[in-house]
Copies of this chain bind each other. A is one copy, B any other.
Amino acid sequence: MTLHKTSDMISKTVETETGKNISQTQRATAILREMIMNNRLPAGSSHLESELAEMLDMSRTPVREATLVLEAQGLVEVRPRRGIRILPLAAQDMAEIYQILTELEGLAAESAARRDLAPDEIYAVETVLEEMETALESDDREAWASADERFHDLLVNLSGNRRLTMAVNAYNDQVHRARLLTLRLRPLPLQSNADHREVFEAIKEGDGKRARRIHTAHRTRAMKLITELLAQHGFHQV
């Protein structure tokens, strides 16, 4: 009896831990964010609360809550009676976000260099760097982009500044669409890999200033490239 109940409880606990207990609001937030970032909800489009609610098969309440969160994250704009608008990124927006990102990731690189990195942290970054190189060799741009994102994510994590990590992630989410779009348009990012290696070397050596300098240059170059590509290909908004 007791055994039976105990095992019941355990299975229940496991279920809870696996995260089945997610609220509709959280589900709505996650799904909508995903759809925005992958352009399944196109930039510039507007959607009524009731549309989204029907699509997600829930009532308006959790949808409303989700849109508030996404609005705070800069992904949508809530315009009463005109729908929830997926914010498009114009050149100006890209410039604003990249300036901030460059700055914050520069700080992250410098902070990371000031810390003593744990072996597993170093290993994680090395692994991603290798993945990026492998991906480049086999001309697999999707894999490269995925590894690139993980590199930048690891980097800000190394800063040890939780708020910095969250802020950088939020801004990266905002420019995700633009990166996706230019992935096929740009030349193979050979320079990027070299930059990443160099930044990481500087971090391991504890040379914060150098890590920051290289990273800033890296990001600045990437921004220029992306904005030029978007302009060349007539994407005045993404």
Contacts and interface: CB of A to CB of B under 8 A. Distances in A.
Chain A interface residue bracket vs B: 20 to 34
A137 B155 CA distance: 47
Contact of A99 (B69, B97, B161): B161
A contacts with B: majority SS: helix
Interface string A87-114: 0000001001101100110110001000
Contact of A111 (B72, B99, B167): B99
B164 A167 contact: no
Given A65-B68, A69-B68, A74-B163, A107 B103 contact: yes
A90 to B, nearest CB: 12
A53 to B, nearest CB: 15
Given A103-B106, A104-B104, 19 more contacts: A68-B68, A68-B69, A68-B72, A69-B72, A72-B72, A93-B163, A96-B164, A97-B163, A99-B111, A99-B161, A99-B164, A100-B104, A100-B107, A100-B161, A100-B163, A100-B167, A103-B104, A103-B107, A167-B167
